[in-house]
Amino acid sequence: MLKLAPLIKPLTAGAILGLLAALSSYQLLSAAKFNPAVFTLQALPLLLVLPGIVKGHRRAYQWCGFIILLYFVRSIILLSSAKVVWIDYVLLVASVVIFVLSLLGSRLLVAHPTP
């Protein structure tokens, strides 16, 4: 588990950026016109925890775990609708990956805090 510790920060930050890219492509590919206000509301919670994730703060990982549950629920709702597109699966996988990485990050930072 100690060998995984240095990889948690870049993996989590990369997964969050990937989810942001998936959200923006979802907005661009949707039938409706791109709405910057909706995208801002979707991206803002992730952008708020991203600096703390990059710095390795344990609280940021814990909050990321809570926040990502909203994206997980949203992707489940999208997948249960009649019109499912491939990006819905990407949102689900990305949210699960970020949730697992945030749990690992908060656990490893408790066991081995960074200076």
Chain segment 30-50, per-residue pLDDT in tens: 767 778 888 899 999 999 999
Task: Compute the distance between CA of residue 108 and CA of residue 1 in angstroms, rounded to an integer.
Answer: 8
Q: What is the pTM of this model?
A: 0.87
Tokens representing 57?
A: 């703060």
Question: In this structure, what DSSP letter does residue 1 have?
Answer: -
Mean pLDDT is highest, among 5-9, 57-61, 95-99, for 95-99
